[in-house]
Amino acid sequence: MSAADILPFFRAWIRNPLRVAAVAPSGPAAASLMTQEITAETGPVIELGPGTGAFTRALLGRGVRQQDLTLVEYGSDFIPLLQRRFPGARVLWMDAAWLHREKLFKGAPVGAVVSGLGLLTMPPEKVLAILGGAFGYLRPNGAFYQITYGARCPVADVILDRLGLQATPIGQTFRNLPPASVYRISRRHPHA
């Protein structure tokens, strides 16, 4: 993580600490944990709240092509930075809760959604809209990967139940500021 990443991230956090979930961008350990199950074969990936691109760089390192990345960022400060760093990716300035209103893809070709959003600070209706919209683009076996700095999954059981989803912890790292955990959220199988 470079000073070029920390300064814009910290400025955005100062302006709106509830929208920017952490005081610093995720480090390499958290980025590796978030992307460990994603490969070039995953196909298109949507990243929600890419910030300075820590997870984006990790996705590229896992073999995902820039043209297979759709970066959805609400913080206008990060848009030019993301466009400069990842010129082959599609960078969208929008609220992730609007995913269901947009036509980002035809059908459901997306293999993974990677989310750096601070779901713990959001109202349940917004979390429901984000997950509902994201799963509208995900293939049946696709997964939504969510980082959290809390002690448990940031998506309430009532929301998971309503959408027919399940959350599985895939790991945690203390080599991040703050320490982080990652959950894989996927559709429940009929036998579950």
Distance CA 141, CA 155 (A): 19
Token code pair at residue 26: 């995720």
Percentage of residues of the chain with pLDDT beyond 90 = 71
Q: Which CATH superfamily is domain 3-187 in?
A: Vaccinia Virus protein VP39 (3.40.50.150)
Query: Which residues have a Cβ under 8 Å from the Cβ of 80 and sit 6 or more positions away?
Result: none
What's the pTM value of the predicted model, to 2 decimals? 0.86
Ranges of each domain in the chain: 3-187
Token code pair at residue 90: 């599609």
Read off the amino acid at residue 153.
C
Q: What is the pLDDT of residues 87-146, one digit of tens each?
A: 999 999 999 999 999 889 888 899 999 999 999 999 999 999 999 999 999 999 999 999
Instruction: Indicate the range of 40-54, 149-163, 177-191 predicted with least confidence.
Output: 177-191
